[in-house]
Structure 1
């Protein structure tokens, strides 16, 4: 069953004859008749009684007519909505974000995007990189924000820092003093989190043998334990700023994680996606400003930061 067959069927009903309907549709009358016959074969019933130059609906045709008309109206409305999506910034936008970025970069700033584009419904999904990548490939998401390397565009480079309790010995060490991480109890993310490898890499670069003492899916569970003195953690700076009651300490060897995004190729002309991408780059640029750089060995640093 094709939309054009339904269109021709409704035209015949409204015109009262095949000839007039063909004239209105701008096609030859035999072609229109063939399309109606194909529709009847698909439905397995006769829709019209031919009465010379006029036609009359059969009982089946009478039942079918309002459904055909509704289908055509729905198709027209759908087409209008799709065209509006290409010309207006409105509609649903599906965004996937990893847990180490969503609470610290996207969520705190999303109200700005919503205020600027109130007709866009941002539908967020939080998951690990592997799952988000699969969902993007399956066209279940329009855009994902993840840690690189990944085939995508870089947004920012987020410094890694050491997060400790305020009473930790590292906090009072003078500038340039050696901070040996060996023997420290490490609180880290669970297997599957791409940032977990960044944490372990930072330990290896410090030539430290650290004993994992606790694993979690969120820094929201790790930071309170760090504040209570249960251990230390290595975190991206954007997350460390939310480590209330903790101190932020520079790593001996600077290390960064790269955060970027990938989006559907088919969304190139999707206005909400274009607007969100532009907004996202602005937010990332703000996060990269000097005020958000790693601690600079200054005891006066705000946000409970120290070295």
Structure 2
């Protein structure tokens, strides 16, 4: 019997959970309030983990604590382990057949308005035992809710490299085109194709700094040496707000979406795929979680609905 087995055999699920709570909340007091145990109890369990691993896990910074590199490593390791254990109960319940189930989904406002609403309605008609609860959020919010077990499935635009910092799994769902959106009487409406040089001649309504659509736009403008010529009128946090600003006459919107959708009814849309490529919508789930047949079934329905 090797030494690593002896060390891991002494660990308890409660120890791992308490450590993760302290790590996520950044405070023994906050973790104690969440768990219902006294701070010294949690502190003692973390001390036992430090002794087992031979590494310091938290440094004190005044009244706050700062996780060490060892704590970062253990957190990324423990979260999937706990997710696997927790989800095993859901998987076991499915063995008896369909049961009343609640699915919490987090997605963007535009996705709900344009493509997901009819698909989810059809899904629920065929699965009356499933109650769908929908939440609005961008990719960062979705990842946060997924990790905190406040959402079962996220649907967002594919995030950037920072996703590596989160214990989540990303799977491709479907693709969208990047679009230019403007009023029907806008000068761009007369053009068969729109280039980035055309876009920078007008005020733009774009995603806020750090969003995937904004990064794609800025990188493309930079490649064509047009970045300094852009004229950003308004930055928004979601495409539904972008469309509202375009309707109000604020400028030309740049967003990922569906052409000729209900959201952009009465406006003109032109594909920017040649300049910006395609946006990828992804499923987000918690790393380590065993997906139930209900979640897998919903993912398949969304894939099939968008392939039509």
TM-score, with structure 2 as normaliser: 0.58
Q: Residues 131 and 105 of structure 1: is their aligned pair in 2 closer, same or farther, counting only changes over 3 Å?
A: same
Q: How does 1:155-234 map to 2 (within 5 A)?
A: 155-174=173-192, 180-191=198-209, 193-205=211-223, 207-208=225-226, 209-234=229-254
Shift of 1:135: 2.0
Shift of 1:234: 0.9
- 1:235-274 deviation per Cα after TM superposition (whole angstroms, max 9, x unaligned): 2132762212211123352511111112245653523212
Q: Secondary structure at the match of 1:180?
A: helix
**Equivalent in the alignment of 2:306:** 284
Q: C-alpha distance in 2, partners of 1:82/1:267?
A: 10
> Does 2:265 match 1:244?
yes
Which fold has the larger relative contact order, with Cα–Cα distance below 8 Å and residues 6 or more apart in sequence? 2
Shift of 1:213: 1.0
Q: C-alpha distance in 2, partners of 1:164/1:206?
A: 23
Shift of 1:118: 0.9
Please point out which of 130, 138, 141 is paired with 1:131: 141
Q: Secondary structure at the match of 1:167?
A: coil
| Unmatched segments (≥5 aa) in structure 2 | 1-88, 164-168
- 1:187-208 deviation per Cα after TM superposition (whole angstroms, max 9, x unaligned): 1233454333234345445543
Q: Contact 1:161–1:249 (CA<8 Å) still a contact in 2?
A: yes
Q: Residues 275 and 228 of structure 1: is their aligned pair in 2 closer, same or farther, counting only changes over 3 Å?
A: same
Q: C-alpha distance in 2, partners of 1:119/1:285?
A: 26
Q: Residues 225 and 139 of structure 1: is their aligned pair in 2 closer, same or farther, counting only changes over 3 Å?
A: closer
Q: C-alpha distance in 1, partners of 2:196/2:204?
A: 18
Q: Residues 167 and 228 of structure 1: is their aligned pair in 2 closer, same or farther, counting only changes over 3 Å?
A: farther
Q: C-alpha distance in 1, partners of 2:199/2:238?
A: 22
Q: Contact 1:90–1:272 (CA<8 Å) still a contact in 2?
A: no
Q: Contact 1:213–1:231 (CA<8 Å) still a contact in 2?
A: yes
Q: Residues 188 and 108 of structure 1: is their aligned pair in 2 closer, same or farther, counting only changes over 3 Å?
A: farther
Structure with greater Cα Rg: 1
Write 1 or 2 for the structure with the bigger share of helix.
2
Q: Contact 2:106–2:154 (CA<8 Å) still a contact in 1?
A: yes
Q: C-alpha distance in 2, partners of 1:221/1:129?
A: 16
> Does 2:296 match 1:274?
yes
Q: C-alpha distance in 1, partners of 2:153/2:196?
A: 42
Shift of 1:119: 0.8
**Equivalent in the alignment of 1:121:** 131
- Pairs aligned (count): 208
Q: Secondary structure at the match of 1:92?
A: strand
Q: Residues 239 and 206 of structure 1: is their aligned pair in 2 closer, same or farther, counting only changes over 3 Å?
A: farther
| Unmatched segments (≥5 aa) in structure 1 | 1-79, 287-307
Q: Secondary structure at the match of 2:265?
A: coil
